[in-house]
Amino acid sequence: MAGFHPFLAKRLRPKGGIDHRRVMIEKARAISDVISLGRGDPDLKTPAHIIEAAKRALDEGYTGYSPWPGYPELREAIARKLREENGIDATAQEVLVTVGAEEAVFLTMMALLDPGDEILVPEPRYTPYDMAVEIAGGAVVSVPTTLEDGFQIDPRGVEERITPRSKALLLITPNNPTGQILDRDRVAALAELAVRHDLVIISDELYEKIVFDGAINFSIGAIPGIKERTITINGFSKTYCMTGWRVGYLHAPAQIVDAMIPLKYTLTINCPSMCQRAALAALEGPQECVEEFRRIYDQRRRLVTAVLAKMGLKHGPARGAFYVFAHVAPMGMTSFDFCQRLLEEEKVLVFPGTAFGSQGEGFIRISLLAPLDKIEEAMARMERFVNSRLG
100 forms part of the interface with ligand PLP (CB under 6 A): yes
Among 179, 235, 316, 353, binds ligand PLP (CB under 6 A): 235
Phi, psi of 366 (to 5 degrees): -105, 120
The stretch near ligand PLP (CB under 6 A) out of 1-9, 94-102, 329-337, 357-365 is 94-102
Angle value at C-alpha 55, between 52 and 57, nearest 5 degrees: 110
Binding pattern for the stretch 305-344 against ligand PLP, x by CB under 6 A and - elsewhere? ----------------------------------------
Contacts of 129 (CB under 8 A, 6+ apart): 105, 109, 121, 140, 170
126 forms part of the interface with ligand PLP (CB under 6 A): yes
The stretch near ligand PLP (CB under 6 A) out of 70-78, 101-109, 262-270, 292-300 is 101-109
Residues 154-193 that bind ligand PLP (CB under 6 A): 172, 176
40 forms part of the interface with ligand PLP (CB under 6 A): yes
Least distance between ligand PLP and beta carbon 345 (Å): 28
The stretch near ligand PLP (CB under 6 A) out of 5-13, 25-33, 99-107, 266-274 is 99-107
Among 102, 117, 123, 346, binds ligand PLP (CB under 6 A): 102
Among 155, 221, 248, 317, binds ligand PLP (CB under 6 A): 248
- Residue (82 or 331) nearer to ligand PLP, CB: 82
What is the strand order of the sheet 200-204 is part of? 95-98, 248-251, 230-235, 200-204, 166-172, 118-123, 139-144
What is the DSSP code string of 272-319?
A: -HHHHHHHHHHHHS--HHHHHHHHHHHHHHHHHHHHHHHHT--B----
The stretch near ligand PLP (CB under 6 A) out of 100-108, 153-161, 267-275, 303-311 is 100-108
- Residue (51 or 195) nearer to ligand PLP, CB: 51
The stretch near ligand PLP (CB under 6 A) out of 70-78, 96-104, 179-187, 345-353 is 96-104
Residues 341-380 that bind ligand PLP (CB under 6 A): none
CB 50 within 8 A of CB 290: no
Phi, psi of 2 (to 5 degrees): -80, 155
153 forms part of the interface with ligand PLP (CB under 6 A): no
217 forms part of the interface with ligand PLP (CB under 6 A): no
Among 243, 276, 335, 359, binds ligand PLP (CB under 6 A): 243
CB 140 within 8 A of CB 173: no
Least distance between ligand PLP and beta carbon 24 (Å): 15
- Residue (38 or 40) nearer to ligand PLP, CB: 40
**Coil vs helix vs strand at 170:** strand
Beta bridge partners of 142: 121
For residue 121, how many C-alpha atoms fall within 13 Å in the half-sphere facing its CB? 25
Write the single-letter amino acid at 226. I
- Dihedral sign for Cα atoms in the order 156, 207, 223, 110: positive
Contacts of 226 (CB under 8 A, 6+ apart): 191, 194, 195, 201, 220
Among 94, 118, 123, 204, binds ligand PLP (CB under 6 A): 204
Among 206, 281, 324, 339, binds ligand PLP (CB under 6 A): 206
101 forms part of the interface with ligand PLP (CB under 6 A): yes
As a whole number of angstroms, the distance between CA 232 and CA 241 comes to 20
**Nearest residue to 300 (alpha-carbon basis) of 21, 35, 37:** 37
Angle value at C-alpha 274, between 271 and 278, nearest 5 degrees: 95
Among 203, 237, 273, 305, binds ligand PLP (CB under 6 A): 237
Contacts of 160 (CB under 8 A, 6+ apart): none
Write the single-letter amino acid at 1. M
Query: Contact residues for ligand PLP (CB under 6 A)?
Result: 40, 100-102, 105, 126, 172, 176, 204, 206, 235, 237, 243, 248
